[in-house]
Structure 1
Amino acid sequence: MSQAAENSSPVVLVVDDEPELRSLLDEYFGRHGFTVYTAADAAEARLAVASRAPALAILDINMPGENGLSLARWMRETQPGIGLVMLTTAGESIDRIIGLELGADDYLPKPFEMRELLARVRAVLRRAVVLAAATPTSPAIAPAGESRRIAFGAYRLDLDERRLRDADGRDIEISAAEFDLLALFARHPNRPLNRNQIMEQAHNRGWDVFDRSIDLRVMRLRRKIERNPDRPELIKTVRNVGYVFVPATAQE
């Protein structure tokens, strides 16, 4: 591949302790127009990211030493815009749930079809492009002190007290399920969440949930926090994906 072609190709980092799988993914994604580099463990991955930040990382969760969940947390903190696809052992739903909590964009259980992984990687990268075009570059959401209070627009969300307040400190009436959904959005600002990711969290918290109930909860949240629920600025719809929480708005 020429240097010019390599520079224009999406850069993907594969982190897995299985050399055969690393080689296979390197060759397969390379044939489909990606620039690929690999790492056998988290330490190698950290060095690789420091040398050249990828657009997306494919991370195996179960690796010797530092596991993929810890590495995903570090990547999300140091490379906020990176796409993360986790490879999990079939049936280990708790790993998938934790991975999504840490900010993973998607997951795929082993063994998997190469075409499905390719499709998921492309989907994550497409969502990143849509998000970059639709959202501001400077997030306005940040923890305030140790109590984990999150400010957005004219509101303050207290994750410890499980309360939503307006600019004057008045409590906004909000159900437990609505709070959990808003907290999920707030922990992943400026990142699109699809319905599967939201439902993973919902089932983990005991919601009786399906696609339509997510849409209804989003609609109720919008009525409580948006200036115009019909033209949302905080919880936006990303067509064919799901929703994205955009705290940096004119409401602030």
Structure 2
Amino acid sequence: MDDLPHILVVDDDRRIRQLLQTYLLENDFRVSVAASAAEAREKMRGFMFDLLVLDIMMPGESGLEFTQSLRGDGNRVPVLMLSALADSSDRIAGLEKGSDDYLPKPFEPRELLLRIRALLRRQEVQGRSRAEVQFGPFVFHVQRGELRKGSEPVRLTTREKDFLRTLAARAGSPVPRGELAPEGSEEGARSVDVQINRLRQKIEDDPSNPVYLQTVRGAGYVLHVD
């Protein structure tokens, strides 16, 4: 079950949340639900989701505003927007704010399923193709755990290599501190901050004002790559 893609459905309509949750569970997904952007943000602090199904028209923070906020924080989780607004200008607005796809209501559940699977395939291909990541003058070879600054190798400890591999695999998206800590222990989680600071000493011109390896408050750490 833990290997199944985890989807977060965000919609203020309880009936739609329940219908989508039931349908997606029947089609081999893990599913969490949220009734608002605030609730979704809270759940994203504790879980890494593979995709968001997000309603645009919600009270308080709209789906458009929520997506724009995620992208502003460097979170690249795929977003499929749902909306009763079917005008082309509304679709364009959703894509401009950072959504990956847009499906007008009412929709066929089968079409939603196909669009979700297409987005997840695209994400998987991008992840597999990332043999190397580059940030500024640095290039990190993920499989070998080798970091170079230009033509010069940068010495990394085994722990630092593991950190960079995890961060590079989700480049542009925050990784919770708990996922970087050994076995998620409290002591390990505290040591993550120390390890991150040591890594910044090696890759940042000004470790106190990082450009590549940044802290996302309440979410973890994110590696920004070229």
Fold shared per TM-score above 0.5:
yes
Deviations 1:118-139 (A, max 9, x none): 1000000000011112236646
Q: CA 1:72 to 1:136, structure 2 compared with 1: closer, same or farther past 3 Å?
A: farther
- Give the conservation status (yes or no) of the 8 Å contact 2:55–2:63: yes
Deviation at 1:99, TM superposition (A): 1.6
Whole-Å separation in 2 of the counterparts to 1:124 and 1:84: 9
- After TM superposition, the structure 1 = structure 2 runs for residues 169-248 of structure 1, keeping only pairs within 5 Å, are 248=226
1:46 corresponds in structure 2 to: 41
- Contact 1:83/1:104 (CA < 8 Å) preserved in 2? yes
Choose which of 105, 108, 125 in structure 2 pairs with 1:110.
105
Q: Secondary structure at the match of 1:8?
A: coil
CA distance in 1, matches of 2:60, 2:28: 32
Conservation of the 8 A alpha-carbon contact between 1:59 and 1:86: yes
Structure 1 residue 56, shift from structure 2 partner: 0.2
Deviation at 1:140, TM superposition (A): 4.3
In the aligned structure 2, how far is the partner of 1:139 from the partner of 1:77?
20
Partners of 1:10 and 1:113 lie apart in 2 by: 21
Distance 2:65 2:132 in 1: 26
Match of 2:115 among 113, 120, 123: 120
| Aligned-partner residue type, residue 102 of structure 2 | Y
2:17 aligned residue: 22
**Aligned counterparts of 1:112 and 1:81: Cα–Cα separation in 2:** 25
Give TM-score, length-normalised by structure 1.
0.51
| Equivalent residue letter for 1:101 | E
CA contact (8 A) 1:90 1:111 kept: no
Q: Deviations over 1:75-122 (max 9, x none)?
A: 233463311000022423222112211221111000000000010000
Counterparts of 1:47 and 1:136, CA distance in 2: 32
RMSD (Å) for aligned C-alpha atoms:
2.2
Name the structure 2 match of 1:11: 6
Provide the residue aligned with 1:231 in structure 2.
none
Counterpart contact for 2:70–2:76, Cα < 8 Å: no
Instruction: Name the TM-score, length of structure 2 as normaliser.
Output: 0.57
Query: RCO greater where, 1 or 2, for CA within 8 Å and sep 6 or more?
Result: 2
Report the AA paired with residue 77 of structure 2: I
User: Paired residues, what number?
Assistant: 140
Instruction: Quote the residue 1:73 is aligned against.
Output: 68
Using the aligned pairs only, state the percent identity: 43
Paired AA for residue 39 in structure 1:
A
Moved over 6 A (4+): none
Q: What is the alpha-carbon distance in structure 1 between the residues aligned to residue 4 and residue 18 of structure 2?
A: 19
